[in-house]
Structure 1
């Protein structure tokens, strides 16, 4: 069974934040990406998102993921690619 893309995004974003002292907080990533800190929090904690009025759990938009990837100098696919099993 494959890992949900939201979990892959969370793991990759967490790893990148640990590797980059200049982008090691949600506030710093949000500012560099031009998105709200809450968006970064939602990306890092997909299981804690609250369902909206429609009952659906929100996910980050592709535009938001693109901005976050850009803050790290990456392409979108690099944030959404699961690490290979070793």
Structure 2
């Protein structure tokens, strides 16, 4: 998969509020009502990540979920990452 240029990444990020490009990855942070809701969403994202064979780097502290996506094989951000962003956004919208 082809690594996207910074210009391509920033253009695509216009479609996703709250996501930013830093350190060769696209990143965001979500805040939920409590730990239970956060962990529930993480579980749903995990199932989608497994289906896509594309696993985010993430951290969770109480009700906050921080996510970082990049395609390690390509050495940066690819279309695969944006497919995962879209899936994450759809999971969070449904909740």
Length-normalised TM-score, structure 2: 0.33
Give the structure with the larger helix fraction. 1
